[in-house]
Amino acid sequence: MKSTDPDRRADAITGTAILNCLRREIAAFEGQLATDETHVIIELPRTGTVLRARHGRWPSDPEQFDGDVWRPLSWRQLASAVSQELTMHTGRTADDFIAEITDSHTAIAAILHARASAALPDELYQRSEQALVAGHRYHPAPKGRRGTSTENWLPYAPEAHASFALRFLAVRADLVSDHGDTTALDLLGLDAFTPGVPEGYRMLPAHPWQLTLIRDRLDELAVLRNGRLRLLGTGDRPVWPTSSVRTVYDPAADVFYKFSLDIQITNDVRRLWRYDLGWTTPLAHLLRSVFADVAAAFPGTTFLIDRGYRTLDVGDIDLYEGLAAIVRDGVRAYALPGVTPVLAAGISEGFPGNPLDNHDADTALSWWRHYLASVVPPVLYTYFRHGIVLECHLQNVLIGVDTDGTPVQAFFRDHEGVRLLAGQHAALLHEIDGPGLLGRGVDTAHGWQRLQYCLVTNHLYEIAGAITERHPTLAPTIWAEARATFEAYSRDHGLPRELSALLDSPQVPSKTNMLLRWTRADGATSNYVAHPNPLRVTAPGP
């Protein structure tokens, strides 16, 4: 019986992911939602299929109405029913849709089996980063690895509590492309690789998995055979992967390294694209300045800057992007005294030592107030004062908690998700992206839409859900407290009209991840449908 438990849990997680997408996106293809005391009922208009799922923070136990009875559905049957509806809705097929979901299910099962025997990390921060067994809760195939065999990726999976040593390369000095502050890479070579770097070469760390993924291209261009690049060996100390899989933390140096992985994870192949690399240094300069001001207004708040990157430039884009390594600020250097960082997504998902655990309702509500005060004002300030849209979703925010587990600090990260309001940053956007291109820039309407989705729908909604799952009696109060935080910011900062509109709006945007996957949209594409606005509630009394 015990050996089947991970498989059954993988079944449940996979079914819930599809149901989550349906529940959020049903309006996008004209379906209907209804609820009764125990279930949410989902009507698919084109096939006439009627589904239901058990209520809860995340819906579960899918069933289909069959004549006069409800028939339980496996995740495969659910995926098939949804596939038929989407085919009729879009007028196109997506033959790999169910294959992606199947691949994700296989990965979840492998992760759960691996976790059963893996040692739990001692450090709370690592536990939080490596807690995301279910992955993106609103993606139909959150753990898909595009058919890569389990033995290839499991040794590098954060969810399996992996840690490993980096591989080291030596790049001939005249072929190094070095941008920004990459001194940590040279120090890494001195500290974590005993033999050192040959004269006339520069150090370049590599993710071991990526080396296997790109090895054919290395062989094709003969960069190893002709000495332009050398394989030096494996490092002397371990790093561990964060929730993003391709970013690793080096606790000895307190530095993050972000690598390419030529594998699709959720919406995109996780490569460091040349376009995004080109923004590394300009954004580092901008964000350092902006967050000095943010920290003055909200002490302790910081952005973990991508300082710079290094790669091999032999005129081949695959190697330029595929071997790039970004250096990111470490977290300990910015943590306030006595503060421990934890990943917001880990708090939502749960892990041993979660600071949300072991509260009664009163202290949980107090915890939520501190959480809101740590996250919401800095995000709004960065937008309204500096014209910067932070991708403040759950995996891009760390929360610093004090010795009592109370939130006191927020750390934001990931240059790739940052967008700049075009009107406020026209000169920089023109310099980097050129005339007539938005690129990294967004207009005000799209920037505000993106921020609402990341902050409210993606982030706060899930943390609030984790609290009310533990303390259902707080359900009437939790969003009133959140509204009060937004209202207080608005009063203190000139009553921005966007905030007033948000608080009065019946809806906030929700991203259509399932439809985007069905239509094979570019990974950076965002389409939204309306989600009920949880902030449209009555503020609490004194």
Residue pair 442/378 in contact (Cβ under 8 Å)? The answer is: no
Mean pLDDT check: name the lowest of 158-172, 219-233, 405-419: 219-233
Average pLDDT over residues 214-234: 92
The DSSP element (H or E) to which 192 belongs, if any, is helix 183-192
Nearest Cα neighbor of 328 from 436, 180, 204 is: 180
Q: Does the 335-532 domain belong in CATH 1.10.510.40? A: yes
Average pLDDT over residues 412-431: 95
User: Band of the pLDDT at 527, cuts 50, 70, 90?
Assistant: confident
Residue 92: how many other CB atoms lie within 10 Å: 10
The DSSP element (H or E) to which 256 belongs, if any, is strand 255-259
User: Band of the pLDDT at 148, cuts 50, 70, 90?
Assistant: confident
Percentage of the residues of the chain whose pLDDT score is greater than 90: 85
Residue 102: how many other CB atoms lie within 10 Å: 18
Nearest Cα neighbor of 365 from 470, 491, 503, 502 is: 470
Report pLDDT digits (tens) over 447-465.
999 999 999 999 999 999 9
* Distance, CA of 145 to CA of 158 (rounded, Å): 14
What is the per-residue pLDDT for 542?
Answer: 47
The DSSP element (H or E) to which 117 belongs, if any, is helix 97-117
Average pLDDT over residues 522-526: 67
Question: pLDDT higher for 95 or 244?
Answer: 244
The DSSP element (H or E) to which 83 belongs, if any, is helix 75-90
Q: At what angle do helices 361-386 and 280-297 cross, to 10 degrees?
A: 120
What is the per-residue pLDDT for 95?
Answer: 83
- The token duo for 398 is 């760390």
User: Band of the pLDDT at 540, cuts 50, 70, 90?
Assistant: low
pTM for the structure as a whole: 0.95
**SS3 assignment, position 65:** strand
Nearest Cα neighbor of 254 from 123, 396, 384, 350 is: 123
Written out in words, the top-level CATH class of the domain with range 1-150 is alpha beta
What is the per-residue pLDDT for 502?
Answer: 97
Report pLDDT digits (tens) over 281-300.
999 999 999 999 999 999 99
* Distance, CA of 542 to CA of 522 (rounded, Å): 48
Average pLDDT over residues 513-540: 82
Angle at 503 between CA 497 and CA 504, to 5 degrees: 90
Residue pair 212/241 in contact (Cβ under 8 Å)? The answer is: no
Tell me the sheet residues that pair with 344: none
Indicate whether 196 pLDDT > 90.
Answer: no
* Distance, CA of 188 to CA of 327 (rounded, Å): 11
Write down the residue that tokens 């075009």 correspond to: 422
Indicate whether 147 pLDDT > 80.
Answer: no
* Distance, CA of 473 to CA of 469 (rounded, Å): 9
Q: What share of the chain is helix, strand, coil (3-state, %, to 5)?
A: 45, 25, 30
Residue pair 308/179 in contact (Cβ under 8 Å)? The answer is: yes
Average pLDDT over residues 491-520: 94
Report pLDDT digits (tens) over 67-123.
889 999 999 999 999 999 999 999 999 888 999 999 999 999 999 999 999 999 999
What is the per-residue pLDDT for 438?
Answer: 61
Residue spans per domain, the chain: 1-150, 163-274+304-312, 335-532
Alpha helices (H) along 204-342:
208-221, 274-278, 280-297, 317-322
